[in-house]
Amino acid sequence: MVKNVVILSDYGYIEGGAGRVAHETALALKERGFRVLFFCAVGPVSETLINSGVEVTCLHQTDILNAKSKLKGALQGIYNRKAKKAFLELLSGLDRTETVIHAHTWTKGLSSSVFAAAKKKNFPVLLTVHDYFLVCPNGGLFNYPKRTICEKKPMSLSCLACNCDARSYPQKLFRVARQRKQNAVLRKCNNLSYAFISEFSKREFLKRYDKIAENKRFFLTNLVNFEKDRFRIPCENNNTFLFIGGLTEVKGVRLFCEAATKAQVKAVVIGQGVLKEELEKAYPNIEFVGWKNKADMLPYLEKTRCLVFPSICYETMGLTPLEMMAYGVPVICSNLSAASEYVSAEFLYDGTSVPALTQKIQEAKAMDIKPVSEEIFSSFDQEKYSKKTYIQNAVNIYKELLQ
């Protein structure tokens, strides 16, 4: 019987999409009456988590990129011994016949040492595959300098020789060292099971590492945030094309800006990232509003005709398209994203092509979009992506792992 769930996450606050799912999982399980323990490396811990009654253990370390000493940061990233010791102590107070560990993120703070601790204590672990760090040193199956998908065999000689990192080749070598240690740890963990969040990401993962037993593979779609009392945004009255996400190369924001400009449409970018200053200068016709919380984002959503989701990397799921579709907003989507699984074919385009994206934006500008929006809104499966369904599916997996 499942009584305790331990959530593993690098950060005690919401740092990204995977971190958000980790937090929401912890909060929802606590609401269901489970004892929930949240173990993280980097603080501060969010007030929401603290006030929820979730038992938080935070090591108050820095993440590996912000460590004062590069050597200490590298050593922590490769194998965080402090995290292993603290996690062993935490697990010593729990009954392994009543406890499941649910891991979300570990590469920026915790490291693979927490999995070694779980194996030593023989606790079942469910690892949600939010990205590709389990197989790829840079986590993205992507060559960042060339801005292209990488199809090299991970950790092969050609992979090791390739300068694919977003920062530098020395950074790539650190990631290779981390991957080598991680592989040595995780691939010996017979207590480890995997939760895939899309068929797309599962396919790309297993193409590169297929040595996972069938009974260790599960499917657990992320929960989606939408209002209980959903309403349809009247897209037919709007002319704004919207981008929401990190302002980085892999998210395709540069392609969005170029395509929206060529299509001569009104465009708004919501998000922060390293490209913000450069793109603001290059595209004065586009409104960059920074990151917004959900309440502050709503006025922009209500003026949106289409969301554009132009990732040029293999996105594992993409929560933003589903959140927008809950409002009946059509999504123009790259075929390189797992979001392509639930976006209508007429709104998909070749993710590497600016002309193809420009054409899709022009088509959406000209079409009678009201019936499209109404169909998206009415057919959205609210129950499938609800918190209730997500938690029930997770709990069912936990039970199976304990059996």
Mean pLDDT of 170-199: 95
Query: Does residue 249 sit within a domain?
Result: yes
Domain harbouring 293, CATH code: 3.40.50.2000
**Ramachandran area for residue 252 (φ above 0: left; ψ -120 to 50: alpha; else beta):** left
Answer yes or no: do 46 and 123 share one domain: yes
* Cis geometry, peptide bond prior to residue 44 (ω within 30 degrees of 0): yes
Predicted confidence at residue 150, as pLDDT, reads 93
pLDDT digits (tens, 9 = 90+) for 251-274: 999 999 999 999 999 999 999 988
Confidence of residue 34 (pLDDT cuts 50, 70, 90): very high
pTM above 0.85, yes or no: yes
Answer yes or no: do 260 and 215 share one domain: no
pLDDT digits (tens, 9 = 90+) for 63-76: 888 888 888 888 89
* Counts for the chain of helices (H) and strands (E), in that order: 15, 15
Answer yes or no: do 212 and 279 share one domain: no
Answer yes or no: do 209 and 283 share one domain: no
Q: What is the mean pLDDT of the chain?
A: 94
DSSP 8-class letter at 344: -
Answer yes or no: do 133 and 168 share one domain: yes
CA distance 41 to 323: 29
Q: Write out the two tokens for 16.
A: 């990204």
Query: Does residue 230 sit within a domain?
Result: no
Query: Does residue 82 sit within a domain?
Result: yes
Query: Does residue 229 sit within a domain?
Result: no
The residue assigned the tokens 């672990």 is: 125
Length of the chain: 403
The amino acid occupying position 347 is F
User: In 13-141, which ranges are E strands?
Assistant: 35-42, 55-61, 99-103, 125-129
Yes or no: say if 324 and 306 are a contact pair by the CB < 8 Å rule. Answer: no
Answer yes or no: do 347 and 392 share one domain: no
In degrees rounded to 5, what are phi and psi of residue 259?
A: -70, -45
Query: Does residue 228 sit within a domain?
Result: no
Yes or no: say if 310 and 321 are a contact pair by the CB < 8 Å rule. Answer: no
Question: Considering its fold, how many domains does the chain have in total?
Answer: 2
pLDDT digits (tens, 9 = 90+) for 131-161: 999 999 999 999 999 989 999 999 999 999 9
Query: Does residue 86 sit within a domain?
Result: yes
Sheet with 217-219, side-by-side order of all strands: 55-61, 35-42, 4-8, 99-103, 125-129, 192-196, 217-219
pLDDT digits (tens, 9 = 90+) for 382-395: 888 889 999 999 99
Confidence of residue 294 (pLDDT cuts 50, 70, 90): confident
DSSP 8-class letter at 315: B
Answer yes or no: do 187 and 287 share one domain: no
Please give the residue range of the domain that contains residue 15. 4-223+386-402
Yes or no: say if 376 and 325 are a contact pair by the CB < 8 Å rule. Answer: yes
Answer yes or no: do 219 and 365 share one domain: no
Answer yes or no: do 30 and 179 share one domain: yes
Over 90: is that where the pLDDT of 110 sits? yes
